[in-house]
Amino acid sequence: MRKPIVLIAAIAVVLGGVYFARWNAVPADPSPAPAAETPAAGVVISSVGEGTLYDVVPGESFGRYLIREQLAGISIPIDTIGVTTAVTGQVSFARSGAVVGGSQIVVNLASLASDESRRDQYVRANILQTQRYPNAVFVPKEVRGIPQPVPTEGTANVVVVGDLTIRGVTREVVWEGTATFGPDEFTVAAKTTLTFAEFGLNKPRVAVVLSVDDAIRLEANIKVRRA
């Protein structure tokens, strides 16, 4: 990494301390959690049509967001990044390669963490409202680019199309990335972009933040293993 970028990042961290100190106390969300938000426990996905079931590998998958913002006193925008490894789920493929209904990936939004705890508290309480909507749920409808049968080595470019639900709002999302194959498992590293407006999310409003891009970049690295 170039030295000027390192210097800018260091300045951003210092100013970020001042920035997030002004978030102050985060108001609690008094609304009760709707029962429908969290996927039911013990969901079983049938291996329909002699298909193959894959489980998300705990602790070896992650999701993260990147949001560009302009802070007062910094001449260039910086990216705010939040990450979680609390990713679970299952994906089942029919012999034809079609995704079997019931497949889903669940990301626990309440566990998202950045480099500043005050930011995380604000995001959870005011933007994502994780007391009511603790999870983001992605239901894949189509996966393009994975050969059938699934190989045991090599890579392939993939496109994943499915429905993403955040804070009770569902939109179709297209992810693009790469699949890396191994014996009885593969990892998909993919990206997509959505907006605050699409999911009815409010942008953060803090005095020292001059602007926040409407675009939210999402990155996922999902490792699945044959069940």
What domains can be seen in the chain, in order of their start residue?
Answer: 3-226 (2.40.128.110)
For 130-178, how does the pLDDT look when each residue is reduced to its tens digit (9 = 90+)? 999 999 999 999 999 999 889 999 999 999 999 999 999 999 999 999 9
Helix, strand, coil abundance in the chain, percent, nearest 5: 15, 45, 40
Asked if pLDDT for residue 29 goes beyond 70, the answer is no
3-state DSSP assignment of residue 121: helix
pLDDT at 2: 44
What single DSSP character describes residue 33? P
How much is the mean pLDDT over the chain? 80
Contact 104, 224 (CB under 8 A): no
Question: What percent of the chain is modeled with pLDDT above 90?
Answer: 59
pLDDT at 64: 97
In terms of pTM, does the model score above 0.85?
A: no
Asked if pLDDT for residue 107 goes beyond 70, the answer is yes
The stretch 200-223 carries a mean pLDDT of 83
